[in-house]
Structure 1
Amino acid sequence: MEASSKAAQEGLEVRSEVYNSSLDETHSRPAGWMYKPLRIGKFTTWYASPGFQLGMVAFVCFMCPGMFNALGGLGGGGKTDNTLADNMNTALYSTFAVIGFFAGTFVNRIGVRLALSFGGIGYCIYAISLLVSEHASVGGFNIFAGALLGVCAGLLWAAQGAIMMSYPPEHKKGRYFAWFWGIFNVGACIGALIPLGQNIHVTEKKNVTDGTYIGFIVLMAFGAVLALFICDADKIVRPDGSRVILMKVPTWKTELIGLWDTIRSQPYIILLFPMFWSSNWFYTYQQNSINNAYFNTRTKALNNFLYWFAQIVAAVIIGPLLDVSFLRRSTRARIALGILFVLTMAIWGGGYAWQKGYTRETVAADDFKAWDWTTPGFEGPMFLYFFYGFYDAIWQGTVYWIMGALGNSGRKLANLAGFYKGLQSAGAAVMWSLDGQHSIPYMNEFASNWGLLMGSLLFAAPVILFKIQDSVPIEEDLEGTGETIEDVLAPGAIEKKALQN
C-alpha cells in the first residue's frame, strides 16, 4: 500500500510540474486556422495562443477603459465643474461594485469574448452622454450612462483579469501584466494627447471641445467591435500544449456555487479586501482635487499624459521583477510587500508636502490663477503627479500578481478578479460621492488615501508572507471543475516529463 501511495503521489507531482513549468518545446496543436503559426519578427505564435489573445484584450482595453482613463484624468470628465462627472461616477462605481462581485460568474457562463464586447459598449455610451450634455440638459441620460458603464465595466474587467492571470504559466504572470498594462496605458496616453493637442493654446480653465469627445467615442466603439474577434478561453492552447483550467459544462448553479467556493476554500483572501478597496480610492483625489483644481486646461492635459505614461514605465519595471527566476516566488512576494511600503511612505509623503500648500477655499477664490506649465515651480507638482501614476501601476500590478499566485484556474481567477473589481469600485463610489459634496477639505481626502493604503498593507501582510506558494498544485486548481489533469495537459506530456526525470 505504501509503495502504491508513493507512486500515486509521484504521479501527481509529475503532472503538477508539467502543467506549471510550461515546457519550452512546441507541442502539436489542434487543426484549424487559429492554431496555424504566425511569425511576428523573431517570434512564432498563433491566433489562439495566450500571448496573441492577451495582446488583443490589451488593445480592447487600450480603446475602451484606456480612453475612459484619459477622459477622467482631465478631471470633471473634461468639464471645469466636476459635479456632473462626480454624479456619473458615483452611479458608475455603485453598479460596478454590485456587478463586480458576480461578474466572474457571468464571464464563466457567457465567455470572455461576449463579456469584453458588451463591456466596450458601455464606455462608448458614457462618452456620448458627456458630449450630449454639452448641448442640452440630459441629467437622467448621464446618470443612466454611468450606471450602465458600471455593469459593462464589471464584465469587461472580470474577463480581462481572468485572461491575464490564468492564461500565462506561473513563471510569466508578472510579464503578462507588464505587457497588458503597457499596451492598455498607451491608449490612455494617446487619449490624453487628444485634448492636449486640441487645447494647446487654452491657458484658462475651460471645457474640452466636442471634437475631443467625438474622438473618444469613435475609438471606444472600435474597441467594442474588436472584442468580438477574441477567442473564448476553451480555445486557448499554450506553447507546451496545455489548456486553461475551466469548469466543464458550466451552469448558473455551478457558477454561483463556485463563487462561494472561492471564499470557502481560501477564506484568507478576505484579508486582501482592504487592498482591493483602496486601489481606486485615490483616483478622485488625484484627478479632481489636484489636476482639475489647480491647473488650467492644457496643463491638466499634460499632467494627464504624464500620469498614464508613468504607468507604462512602472509596468515595464515591476512585471519582469516579479518573475525573476533566481528568487523563489514566496521570497519575491515578501520583497514586493516591502517595496510597496517604502513607495507608499515616499511618494505619499511628497504628496503631503504639496497638499499643505492649498485648500478648497484658496483655489475657489476669485484671485486664484490656475497654474500653467510655464508657472515657476511647476516641475515639483509635475513630477509628483508622474509618480502618483507610477505608484498606481506598481500597486495594481502587485495585487494582480498576488491573486495570480493563489491559483491558475480560469474559473477561480475570474471570480477573484470579480471580487477585486467589485470592492475596488465600491471604494471608488464612496469617494466620488464624498467629493461630489464639495465640502470635504482636500487634506482630509489626502489623509484618507494615505491611511487606507498603509492600513491595507498591514491587513494583506499575512497572506503575502505566509500564503504565497512557490507553485500551486494542479489538483487544487481542478477541484470542483469536473476537469481531469489529462484534460488540460498536452497529449503525451506526462510520459515525456517522466522520462526526462
Structure 2
Amino acid sequence: MAEFRKGASSMHTQTTAQPVEPIFGREIEMPPGWKYKSLKLGPATLPWYASPESQLILVSFVCFLCPGMFNALNGLGGAGQLDKDAYASDASNCALYATFAVVGSYLCFNYTRNFGYVVFAGVLLGCCAGILWAAQGAIMMSYPPEKLKGRYISWFWLIFNLGAVIGSVVTLGLNIDNTGNDGKPIGNSTYIGFLILTFLGACLSWTLVDAKHVVRRDGSRIILMKHPTWKTEILGLWETLWTDPYIILLFPMFFASNWFYTYQFQDVNLARFNVRTRALNNTLYWVAQMIGALVFGFALDFPNIRRTSRAKFAWVAMFALTFGIWGGGYVFQRQYSRNNLGDQYDWTSDGFLGPMFLYIFYGFYDAAWQTCVYWFMGAISNNGRKLANFAGFYKGIQSAGAAIIWRLNGMKKPYMNMFASCWILLAGSLVIALPVMILKIKDTVPVEEDLKFVDEDDIIGSKHIYEKSEPERV
C-alpha cells in the first residue's frame, strides 16, 4: 500500500490549502476556494458546499421536486384520472420503466385524451430517470463514511418523500370536495403545479459539483475513474459481475423493490377509494415513508452493535414486516376483486380506518425496504465506481420489474394474482439475499479489498481515500 499511496500522491498538484477544525485529533487541510469554506450560522457551523452532506441535500431536493412530485401524482392511482382512464397511466408507466415526460403529458391528456403522447412522455421520462437514479444512488452510497451510510440514506429518503408529501397535500387541498361521483378527473391546476415544481427541480440539478471535488470531514475523497467513458462504464457493469458475483443474490430484491407500487397505487388506492380519500391516503403513505426511512436509517447506523449484526437484524426485521403487513393486505384483498369492487371508501365511511392504516403500513414498508437495500449495497464497498455500478444494476433491474407489473395491470390481471406476486417476490427475494448478509457484509471494508481490481493509474483521489479516514468503531 505504501507504493500505491506514493504513486497516487503524484496525481495531485500542490495548492495552498486551508485548515479546518481538527478531526479525530488531527489537523485536516482543505483545498482552497469558496466550495470548502464552512458557514457560521449562530452557534452552528454549516458544512462546506463541496461536502458530502451539502451534495446529498442538493440531490435530495432535486428528487424532492422531480420524482417526488411524480410519486405524489402516481400515488393517487391512475395519475389522478378515473378508473376508466387508468389504462393511460398503466401504459405510460410501463413505457417509463421499460426505458429506464414530463408531468405535462397528463395535463395534455386532460384536454386532448391523447394516449400516444402520454406513452411517449413515459419513454422520455424513463430515459432521463435512469441517469438521475444511477447518479443519486452512487452519491448516497459512496459519499458518506462507513459509519454514517444509513443516516445519509435516511436523510435522502426524508427529503425526497417530503416532496411527495407536499405534492399530495396540494392535491388533497385542490380536490377536497371531489368525491369522484361527478365523473371528472383531478383538475388542471394540479398538473400545472406539478409541472412548475418539476421544472425547478431540473434547474437545481445544475448546482451539484463534480464528485472529484467532494471532500469529507476527515479529508478523504471518493474513488473515481480518472477518465470515464461510455465504453468503460458499460464494461464496468460486466467487470462488477466478474469481481463481485455475489451481487446477483441481491437481484431479486432489486426486481421486487418497485413491483408492489402498481398494486398499491392502482389496485388498492384507485380501486377502493374515491378521489379525495385517495389524496389523503397518498399523503399518509408518503409521511409513513419518511418515518420508515428515519427509523431504519438510524437503526442501521446504531453505533453500539457491530455492523455484521445490524445486517442480520435488518434482514429479520424485514422478513417479519413482510409477513405482518402483507398478511394484513391478504385479509383486505379477499374482500374485493376486479369484477366485484363494491362501494368506494370515503373518509367518512364506516370501516375506513382499517384500510387507511394498511395503506400507511405499506408506505412504511416501502421505505424500510429501499433503505435496507441501499444500506446492504453500501456496506459491501466504499468504492464510488463499484457503487455506481451497483446502483445501475439496482435501478435497471428494479425498472424491468416495474415495467412488467404495470403491463400486467394494464392487461387487467386479477387483483389477487397481483397481490400474490408482490408477497411471493418480497419474501422469496429476502431468502435468496440472506447469504450476502451472512458472508459479505463486514464491520469495515479493508482498503485492499476495495482497490483489489482497480488500476492505480485509472483512479483519482486515491491519496485521500483511506489514508486519513477512520474505521467504524463498534
Alignment TM-score > 0.5, same fold? yes
Structure 1 range deviating more: 125-134 or 179-188:
125-134
- After superposition, the C-alpha distances for 1:72-131 in whole angstroms (9 at most, x for unaligned) are 0000111012100000011001011xxxxxxxxxxxxxxxxxxxxxxxxxxxx3211110
- After superposition, the C-alpha distances for 1:405-438 in whole angstroms (9 at most, x for unaligned) are 1111111111110100111111110000000012
Query: What is the match of residue 442 of structure 1?
Result: 415
Query: What is the match of residue 474 of structure 1?
Result: 447
Q: Is the Cα contact below 8 Å between 1:276 and 1:424 reproduced in 2?
A: yes
Query: What is the match of residue 79 of structure 2?
Result: 77
Query: What is the match of residue 185 of structure 2?
Result: 207
SS at match of 1:160: helix
Q: Find 1:237's aligned residue among 202, 207, 215.
A: 215
Query: What is the match of residue 99 of structure 1?
Result: none
Counterpart AA for 1:181: W
Q: Is the Cα contact below 8 Å between 1:67 and 1:220 reproduced in 2?
A: yes
Compared with structure 1, are the counterparts of its residues 40 and 401 closer, same or farther at alpha carbon in structure 2 (3 Å cutoff)?
Answer: farther
Q: Is the Cα contact below 8 Å between 1:158 and 1:417 reproduced in 2?
A: yes
Compared with structure 1, are the counterparts of its residues 86 and 491 closer, same or farther at alpha carbon in structure 2 (3 Å cutoff)?
Answer: closer
Unmatched segments (≥5 aa) in structure 1:
12-21, 97-124
Listed as ranges, the matches of 1:215-226 within 5 Å are 215-226=193-204
Compared with structure 1, are the counterparts of its residues 25 and 444 closer, same or farther at alpha carbon in structure 2 (3 Å cutoff)?
Answer: farther
Report the Cα distance in structure 1 between the residues aligned to 2:334 and 2:395, rounded to whole angstroms.
32
- After superposition, the C-alpha distances for 1:27-86 in whole angstroms (9 at most, x for unaligned) are 111111111112356233100000011000000000000000000000011101210000
Q: Is the Cα contact below 8 Å between 1:354 and 1:381 reproduced in 2?
A: yes
- After superposition, the C-alpha distances for 1:14-37 in whole angstroms (9 at most, x for unaligned) are xxxxxxxx8475611111111111
Query: What is the match of residue 36 of structure 1?
Result: 37
Could you tell me the TM-score, scaled by structure 2's length?
Answer: 0.90
Q: Find 1:411's aligned residue among 385, 401, 410.
A: 385
Query: What is the match of residue 349 of structure 1?
Result: 327
Compared with structure 1, are the counterparts of its residues 463 and 295 closer, same or farther at alpha carbon in structure 2 (3 Å cutoff)?
Answer: same
SS at match of 1:324: coil
Compared with structure 1, are the counterparts of its residues 487 and 67 closer, same or farther at alpha carbon in structure 2 (3 Å cutoff)?
Answer: closer
Q: Is the Cα contact below 8 Å between 1:247 and 1:481 reproduced in 2?
A: no
Compared with structure 1, are the counterparts of its residues 434 and 26 closer, same or farther at alpha carbon in structure 2 (3 Å cutoff)?
Answer: farther
**What is the CA distance between 1:147 and its match in structure 2?**
0.6
1:87 maps onto 2:96 in alignment? no
- After superposition, the C-alpha distances for 1:311-334 in whole angstroms (9 at most, x for unaligned) are 001111111110111111111111
Query: What is the match of residue 315 of structure 2?
Result: 337
Listed as ranges, the matches of 1:102-251 within 5 Å are 125-205=101-181, 206-251=184-229
Report the Cα distance in structure 1 between the residues aligned to 2:49 and 2:176, rounded to whole angstroms.
41
Counterpart AA for 2:69: M
Q: Is the Cα contact below 8 Å between 1:28 and 1:241 reproduced in 2?
A: yes
Q: Find 1:263's aligned residue among 232, 237, 241.
A: 241
Counterpart AA for 1:301: A
What is the root-mean-square deviation in Å for CA atoms of aligned residues? 2.2
SS at match of 1:433: helix
Query: What is the match of residue 116 of structure 1?
Result: none
Structure 1 range deviating more: 257-266 or 413-422:
257-266
Q: Is the Cα contact below 8 Å between 2:221 and 2:465 reproduced in 1?
A: no
Compared with structure 1, are the counterparts of its residues 441 and 25 closer, same or farther at alpha carbon in structure 2 (3 Å cutoff)?
Answer: farther
Paired residue total: 447
Query: What is the match of residue 69 of structure 2?
Result: 67
Q: Is the Cα contact below 8 Å between 1:27 and 1:490 reproduced in 2?
A: no
- After superposition, the C-alpha distances for 1:208-231 in whole angstroms (9 at most, x for unaligned) are 100000000000000000000111
**What is the CA distance between 1:203 and its match in structure 2?**
1.5
Compared with structure 1, are the counterparts of its residues 180 and 483 closer, same or farther at alpha carbon in structure 2 (3 Å cutoff)?
Answer: farther
Query: What is the match of residue 9 of structure 2?
Result: none
Query: What is the match of residue 296 of structure 2?
Result: 318
Could you tell me the TM-score, scaled by structure 1's length?
Answer: 0.86
Report the Cα distance in structure 2 between the residues aligned to 1:488 and 1:251, rounded to whole angstroms.
19
Q: Find 2:353's aligned residue among 365, 369, 379.
A: 379
Q: Is the Cα contact below 8 Å between 1:240 and 1:490 reproduced in 2?
A: no
